[in-house]
Amino acid sequence: MSKQILLKQDEMPTSWYNVIPDLPGPPTPVLHPATLQPVTPDDLTPLFPMGLIGQEVSGERWTAIPQEILDIYAIWRPTPLVRATRLEKVLDTPAHIYFKNESVSPAGSHKPNTAVAQAYYNKIEGTKRLVTETGAGQWGSALSLACNFFDLELQVFMVKVSYQQKPYRRSLIQTWGAKVFPSPSDQTNYGRQLLEQDPDNPGSLGIAISEAVEKAATDPEAHYSLGSVLNHVCMHQTIVGLEAKKQMEMAGEYPDVVIGCVGGGSNFAGIAFPFVPDKADGKSVRLLGAEPASCPTLTKGKYTFDFGDTARMAPIVKMHTLGHDFVPPGIHAGGLRYHGDSPLVCQLVDAGVIEARAHQQLSCFEAAVLFARSEGIIPAPETSHAIRAAIDEALEAKKLGEKRVILFNFSGHGHFDMGSYDAYFSGELKDFDYPEAKIKAALANLPQVNM
Ligand SMILES: *Cc1c(COP(=O)(O)O)cnc(C)c1O
């Protein structure tokens, strides 16, 4: 039995999968933040190239991946599928645990799968520079890598606390050639306004999104880029699940449960969406999203229309939301702290096709350390939520004495998050209660949409 199940380079999928034609109903509309009317392609052209706008609303099940993108994917793809036999042994479980190792990309996560695609579609339409935001720096570094390959400039608004606390991801961004601003910054009207009120504003992802959108919308040579949530981002990530399906077949297995951690939903969508049509065809496969208990969007959020950002400049979408001005506690999985989630993931949760579970951060770090000591790879704090869920599934299988086949997405390594591990080992890390009062307050500010 082989530990790694490897695809040859010429066996890499050559199309992405779009879940929209396989949704239980039509996709929910996207609304303009000022008019509350459905957005038109014209509303989006200041921010995105037509190629990506087309993908955002596409009803086609398959989209061919351009050769230029495949050529760059080939630097690290196909990624290995690994049978976690040593973890199985430690858990003494009859379950079979497989993980798709997306940490082998140059940026260390799944994020370059969409970054490369977004840079490509901007490049061929003549965009000079991209503008984006980043929390802990994972997205900023992935997009910097991609823009470097396509000779595009990049400006990154990085949440100020992370800029100060996570200098190495900032260095990655700069090494691949992008400019980084701590957000709130003096580069935008919104940032200047916030700094005037409080020069020590630590920033948040919502604020950084607002700054990046403002900057991109006011620069005719620039476009905006988002690393998660949007339909085209989820589609680009399906290369993960399409490869994994082939590899599971090579291993002679089919998963009973497919797991990913959920921040904006893209790595989970990437591994889970290609299984949605199987489920409709009657296969019994469960699709399980794992999120933090301190930012419990899918498990405790309200399924309704909300703004994508704090300053109410981004479009309004229907999603499970904790409110656009909800600021989650400062947990160490910075990539899982968004107030909403991908509308496609949410629609499938609402329809009962996808399940979700929330986990406390201490139990996630415990799972991450167990994984590092059995399988060797050190997980990102985000990824540890998927590992926690996979371990819980394996332990349940043990209790029931059933062979359960578990597949999870190993979304990234934690080499730049060792400060979080230090905090865990020194006992400084704590769990947070469900922030009920803060969520209630934030949900009072939802837009009034009659749809
Ligand atoms: C950004 C990130 C996530 C969360 O983003 P999604 O869009 O929900 O996938 C998860 N894991 C890692 C390693 C990340 O960098």
Q: Over 60: is that where the pLDDT of 322 sits? A: yes
Q: Which of 90, 66, 144, 411 lies closest to 269, judged by CA?
A: 411
Whether the ω angle into residue 41 lies within 30 degrees of 0, i.e. cis, is: no
Distance CA 416, CA 135 (A): 13
Q: Is the CB of 267 under 6 A from ligand 1?
A: yes
| Residue 254 identity | Y
**What is the predicted pLDDT for the residue at 326?**
86
DSSP label of 38: B
Q: Is the CB of 113 under 6 A from ligand 1?
A: no
**What is the predicted pLDDT for the residue at 334?**
76
Average pLDDT over residues 159-169: 89
Bridge partners of 306, per DSSP, are 317
**What is the predicted pLDDT for the residue at 296?**
94
Q: How many CB atoms lie under 10 A from the CB of residue 278?
A: 15
DSSP label of 125: T
Q: How many CB atoms lie under 10 A from the CB of residue 94?
A: 14
Most confident region among 33-47, 114-128, 195-209, 298-312 by mean pLDDT: 114-128
Write down the mean pLDDT value for the chain.
95
What's the gap in Å between 37 CA and the centre of ligand 1?
30
Q: Over 60: is that where the pLDDT of 1 sits? A: no
pLDDT, tens digit, 9 for 90 and up, residues 175-208: 999 999 999 999 999 999 999 999 999 888 888 9
Q: Over 90: is that where the pLDDT of 336 sits? A: no
**What is the predicted pLDDT for the residue at 300?**
95
Average pLDDT over residues 219-244: 97
Q: Is the CB of 409 under 6 A from ligand 1?
A: no
Q: Over 80: is that where the pLDDT of 2 sits? A: no
DSSP label of 295: S
Q: Is the CB of 263 under 6 A from ligand 1?
A: yes
Q: Is 314 helix (H, G, I), strand (E, B) or coil?
A: coil
Ligand 1 atom nearest the C-alpha of 142 is: 15
Q: Is 413 helix (H, G, I), strand (E, B) or coil?
A: strand
Distance CA 348, CA 336 (A): 19
**What is the predicted pLDDT for the residue at 314?**
84
**What is the predicted pLDDT for the residue at 60?**
98
Distance CA 410, CA 97 (A): 12
Average pLDDT over residues 64-93: 98
Residue closest via CA to ligand 1's atom 4 equals 263
Q: Is the CB of 412 under 6 A from ligand 1?
A: yes
Read off the pLDDT band of 23 (50, 70, 90). Answer: very high
Q: Is the CB of 318 under 6 A from ligand 1?
A: no
Tokens at 117, concatenated: 């695609």
What's the gap in Å between 140 CA and the centre of ligand 1?
12
**What is the predicted pLDDT for the residue at 428?**
94
Q: Is 113 helix (H, G, I), strand (E, B) or coil?
A: helix
Bridge partners of 287, per DSSP, are 258, 354
Contact 262, 290 (CB under 8 A): yes
Residue closest via CA to ligand 1's atom 3 equals 335
Q: How many CB atoms lie under 10 A from the CB of residue 414?
A: 21
pLDDT, tens digit, 9 for 90 and up, residues 118-135: 999 999 999 999 999 998
What's the gap in Å between 262 CA and the centre of ligand 1?
7
Read off the pLDDT band of 302 (50, 70, 90). Answer: very high
Q: Is 97 helix (H, G, I), strand (E, B) or coil?
A: strand
Q: Is the CB of 237 under 6 A from ligand 1?
A: no
Q: Is the CB of 135 under 6 A from ligand 1?
A: no
Distance CA 292, CA 336 (A): 7
Distance CA 275, CA 255 (A): 10
pLDDT, tens digit, 9 for 90 and up, residues 265-283: 999 999 999 999 999 999 9
Q: Over 70: is that where the pLDDT of 171 sits? A: yes
What's the gap in Å between 201 CA and the centre of ligand 1?
25
Q: Over 90: is that where the pLDDT of 328 sits? A: no
> What is the secondary structure of 348-400 as a DSSP string?
HHHTTSEEEEEE-HHHHHHHHHHHHHHH-PPBPTTHHHHHHHHHHHHHHHHHH
Q: Is the CB of 290 under 6 A from ligand 1?
A: no
Architecture of domain 66-108+231-443: 3-Layer(aba) Sandwich (3.40)
Q: Is the CB of 13 under 6 A from ligand 1?
A: no
Q: Is the CB of 228 under 6 A from ligand 1?
A: yes
Q: Over 90: is that where the pLDDT of 438 sits? A: no
What's the gap in Å between 431 CA and the centre of ligand 1?
20
Q: Is 255 helix (H, G, I), strand (E, B) or coil?
A: coil
**What is the predicted pLDDT for the residue at 335?**
79
Q: Is the CB of 296 under 6 A from ligand 1?
A: no
Residue closest via CA to ligand 1's atom 7 equals 266
What's the gap in Å between 263 CA and the centre of ligand 1?
6
Distance CA 203, CA 182 (A): 8
What's the gap in Å between 128 CA and the centre of ligand 1?
27
Q: Is the CB of 341 under 6 A from ligand 1?
A: no
The alpha carbon of 326 is separated from its chain's Cα centroid by a whole number of angstroms, namely 19
Distance CA 309, CA 311 (A): 6
What's the gap in Å between 441 CA and the centre of ligand 1?
27
Distance CA 78, CA 46 (A): 34
Q: Is the CB of 109 under 6 A from ligand 1?
A: yes
Bridge partners of 17, per DSSP, are 62
Q: Within 13 Å and on the Cβ side, how many CA atoms surround 314?
A: 28
The phi, psi pair for 70, rounded to 5°, reads -60, -40
Q: Is the CB of 262 under 6 A from ligand 1?
A: yes
Q: How many CB atoms lie under 10 A from the CB of residue 29?
A: 16
**What is the predicted pLDDT for the residue at 448?**
87
For the chain, domain boundaries: 66-108+231-443
Average pLDDT over residues 137-151: 97
Percentage above 70 pLDDT, the chain? 99
Q: Over 90: is that where the pLDDT of 310 sits? A: no
Average pLDDT over residues 329-356: 91
| Residue 288 identity | L
Q: Which helix (H) or strand (E) holds 132?
A: strand 129-134
Of the given ranges (251-255, 299-303, 398-402, 447-451), which has the lowest mean pLDDT? 447-451
**What is the predicted pLDDT for the residue at 90?**
97
Q: Which helix (H) or strand (E) holds 16?
A: strand 15-17
Ligand 1 atom nearest the C-alpha of 262 is: 8
Q: At what angle do helices 112-124 and 50-57 cross, to 10 degrees?
A: 130
Q: Is the CB of 411 under 6 A from ligand 1?
A: yes
Distance CA 58, CA 300 (A): 30
Would you give the end-to-end CA distance of the chain in angstroms?
54
**What is the predicted pLDDT for the residue at 183?**
96
| Residue 2 identity | S
| Residue 48 identity | F
Contact 237, 55 (CB under 8 A): no
Percentage above 90 pLDDT, the chain? 86
Average pLDDT over residues 32-53: 93
